[in-house]
Amino acid sequence: MTVSPPPTTPSATAPASALPAGHPLVDGRTAGAPLLAAYRGRRPDRRPVWFMRQAGRSLPEYREVRRGIGMLESCLQPDLAAEITLQPVRRHRVDAAILFSDIVVPLKLAGVDVEIVAGTGPVVASPVRTAADVAALPPLDPDALAPVAAEAAAVVAELGGTPLIGFAGAPFTLASYLVEGGPSKDHRRTKTLMHAAPQVWHALAAWTAGVTTAFLRAQVLAGASAVQVFDSWAGALSRPDYQAFVAEHSAAVFAGVADLGVPRVHFGVGTGELLTAMRDVGADVLGIDHRVPLDVATARLGGGVPVQGNIDPALLFAGERALHEHTLDVIRRGAAAPGHVLNLGHGVPPDTDPGVLTELVEFIHAQPGT
């Protein structure tokens, strides 16, 4: 099934010298997409919207195709992962697909023993906490990225003029998983390593930055028209710690894909105090979670940065009237930025009624563009 292309806007082409000839930005398929226009600080006729975690447990078709198949296995079966990536575009008519993956997939591809445990999340068999542990981390074989590239290419072949967004976790979040051995509420081991053994920490973060960069480049070269870097745990850091221990490694990732000319989105949870620091590492667009109003975030950013967000996911359960009123407020506040892509302030909760998301997309698309 081919997804219909979005309405076109004036061309929003990006530098494409490093992209292959068949890339959607080079051959023009996604050049007029509303999403990319907004990411580049323009105001398209149609308001673009997509949702973080739009492909997942909220969709019955997702649960059906994933039955009996583990999460990481699902991410690394190109045909299955491509089908999952496309499901929300078909159902909700959102303005972008985002590659179905998981933050720890590049760690798995590099040879790290990591599994996703039901009810817990990613668990690393041998946490990385010493210089010897870092030195033992395997290099990422470029050939290991073949399933990721195949998934992206299969999705792009079906999307037509709808852009694919590449997905990756930020170096800090990946490194923290490795240090903690799994999810953490206080990231105590991570912060201890930063301050007690900064050389070890920086070596580890440089390794995760390299893995993340390779992961993103494979997706863009296979057809992704934008990328989003998720720093899921950065909100646990103070601004001084972010700048001292994280910024240079995130900057390496954004610099590592700069030659590809695609918009680069940076999103973190609970990062209202870090917005300018996250911008300064090289992001073109800032994803804003639901804790900071978009006009406030835009003022903090100096008014020159396109934003993405930030509908509160809890309002998906509050009824149509409350959700619509809240969404209109988000749109009004987003007008302060040079460009605005509607999204949630975090991911789609698993128990969300898919019909609510479909209706919300229709409501957003019905609002006049500016």
DSSP per residue, 37-64: HHHTT---SS--B--TT-SSTT-HHHHH
Out of 29, 39, 102, 289, the active site residue is 102
331 vs 365: CA distance, rounded Å: 12
Residue 93 region by backbone torsions, left for phi larger than 0, else alpha for psi between -120 and 50, else beta: left
Catalytic residue among 40, 42, 43, 66: 66
Instruction: List Cβ neighbours of 221 (8 Å cut-off, separation of 6 or more).
Output: 19, 20, 23, 149, 260
- Partnered with residue 167 across adjacent β-strands are 228
SS (H, E, C) 196-215: HCHHHHHHHHHHHHHHHHHH
Yes or no: say if 70 and 104 are a contact pair by the CB < 8 Å rule: no
Of 39, 62, 177, 242, catalytic: 177
Q: Of the residues 57, 93, 189, 291, which is catalytic?
A: 57
177 flagged as catalytic: yes
Sheet of 164-169, strands arranged across: 97-98, 164-169, 226-231, 264-268, 285-287, 307-308, 340-341
Return the DSSP state at 284: S
Residue 275 CB contacts under 8 Å (≥ 6 apart), including other chains = 286, 288, 292, 297, 300, 301
**Amino acid (one-letter) located at 228:** Q
Alpha-carbon distance of 352 to 359, in angstroms, equals 12
Residues 147-180, buried b or exposed e (16+ Cβ, 10 A)?
Answer: bbbbbbbbbbebbebbbbbbbbbbbbbbbbbbbb
Catalytic residue among 29, 53, 217, 264: 53
What is the distance between the alpha carbons of residues 299 and 312, in angstroms, rounded to a whole number?
20
**What's the token pair of residue 67?**
């039955």
Is 66 among the residues known to form the active site? Answer: yes
Q: Which two tokens stand for residue 273?
A: 């105090």
Write out the catalytic residue numbers.
Answer: 53, 57, 66, 102, 177
